[in-house]
Amino acid sequence: MSSSIKLQSCLMLSLVIATATYVQAENWPGWRGPQRTGVTTDTGVPTTWSSTGNVLWKTSLPGTGISNPVVWQDRVFITAAEGRDQSELHVLCLDRDSGRIRWHQRLWGTAPTVFYYPKSGLASPSPLTDGERLWVFFGTGDVFCFDLDGGLLWQRALADEYGPFENRFAAASSPLLFQDTVILQCDHYGASYVIAIDGNTGANRWKSDRPEAWLSWSSPQLTQVDDRFELVLSGSEKLDGYNPVTGQRLWTVRGLVRECVPTPVLGAGLVFVVSGPNGAHLAVKPGGSGDVTETHVVWRNDRGTSFVPSPIVVGERYYLVDDKGIASCLSTSDGKLLWRKRLTGKFTASPVAADGKLFFTNESGSTLVLDAAADEYRELACNELGEDVYSSPAISQRRMFLRTTKHVVCIGTK
């Protein structure tokens, strides 16, 4: 083989390897990742680390918050709030490789909410990006849109327009992107509504009042039924399906508890929703019209429900850990219990999954790694970070990003 042919072969092989690596590396553009399910196709995420081992960088944050980090290519976005009433708002962009602060926007909230939950705050909703713009929503009712270099494009003060948010934990619902529209679920003791905002201009596309929804911290989900998309909202004893283009309510499934926090997840053509404590897991077939409770609930399980952590579906298994640390694995097809296990500690963060592995992080910063391909409970590792964690992790480009009470920590291999 001539040297030129060898060189061409090596270049082609390098291109194939680089392309495969790029395909395997997903961004984490918002709450719970690429499909808002906590699952990514990313591979190569470390399964072992400590407070120093496999920690690539750690960056201090101003104030507090439980929004999860958002990752797009070489940038990490995060929000925080501080001050006596947490009206001082922060939006930060970190460098993915070094953790240095690329830019930092300091803002003021228009309507700070009194809240009574020490783990929560006004920086609970997670940011959202499409790779060109960044949208952030705070418990003050303020919505901001930036370009990725930190330039402010527009802002809205929903509390000024439609009334301040009234609930004891502050607003926590994270925005959802549908085409070029940002959708916000605003359920509270006041006048509840769901609103769709033009991502480019900040103008309303539509607004639908939710008079039967008086309280929820759940985030909206999007599913597809045949040739149409449906917006799914969990809140106040029911699950609602909407047309995301018009805001028209399509169907309702009843059977949840009064206060809903977990975000619905998707799998096997179903929507899985949980509410608790003392609530139920429901597997729902989306679609239909009107009250479809009797026809569209595929299965119901009344044990092991959570109040805060959202569930996760990997393959044919549905997993959940409740706030007290009881983890359950159910069959997605019929809701049958496959295993139940008490984990160490209490949980606020929702689990994530990548490369056939499940990651459960408790409030003391301990992350349990489980084999998602096993029919039984199979523990692979347990990693102590040494800082309290209430925020859900993000996974992108072979790295895990954990927000502690004081830092953003990047875990990976050098």
CATH of the domain at 213: 2.130.10.10
Residue 209 has pLDDT above 80, yes or no: yes
Instruction: Pick the closest to residue 296 from 286, 310, 281, 305 (CA basis).
Output: 286
Provide the pLDDT confidence category of residue 75 given band limits of 50, 70 and 90: very high
Whole-number CA gyration radius for the chain: 21
**What integer is the mean pLDDT of 175-190?**
96
Confidence of residue 12 (pLDDT cuts 50, 70, 90): very low
In a domain, 263, yes or no: yes
Q: What is the average pLDDT across 170-179?
A: 93
Mean pLDDT of 110-127: 78
Give residue 40's pLDDT. Answer: 97
In a domain, 15, yes or no: no
Q: Count CB atoms within 10 A of the CB of residue 267.
A: 20
Report yes or no: 272 and 256 within 8 Å, Cβ to Cβ.
no
Q: Count of domains in the chain?
A: 1
- For residue 116, pLDDT beyond 70: no
Q: Judge whether 14 lies within some domain.
A: no
Report DSSP letters for 146-158, one per residue.
EETTS-EEEEEEH
Contact 229, 223 (CB under 8 A): yes
AA letter at 228: R
**0.85 surpassed by pTM:** yes
Residues in the chain: 414
Inter-CA distances, 26 with 33, 45, 79, Å:
9, 12, 21
pLDDT tens for 280-291 read: 999 999 999 999
Q: What is the mean pLDDT of residues 255-260?
A: 92
- Of 174 and 373, more confident: 174
> 8 or 143: which carries more pLDDT confidence?
143
Residue 325 in domain: yes
Q: Would residue 9 count as lying in a domain?
A: no
pLDDT tens, 317-375? 999 999 999 999 999 999 999 999 999 999 999 999 999 999 999 999 999 999 999 98
Q: Chain-wide mean pLDDT for the chain?
A: 91
Q: For the ranges 132-136, 212-216, 222-226, which has the lowest average pLDDT?
A: 212-216
Predicted confidence (pLDDT) at residue 125 exceeds the cutoff of 70 = yes
Please state, for a pLDDT cut of 90, what percent of the chain lies above it: 82
Q: For residue 261, is it within any domain?
A: yes
Mean pLDDT value across residues 197-221: 95
Q: Which domain holds residue 318?
A: 24-411
The answer to whether residue 239 sits within a structural domain is: yes
Residue 38 lies in a domain: yes
At residue 289, the pLDDT reads 97
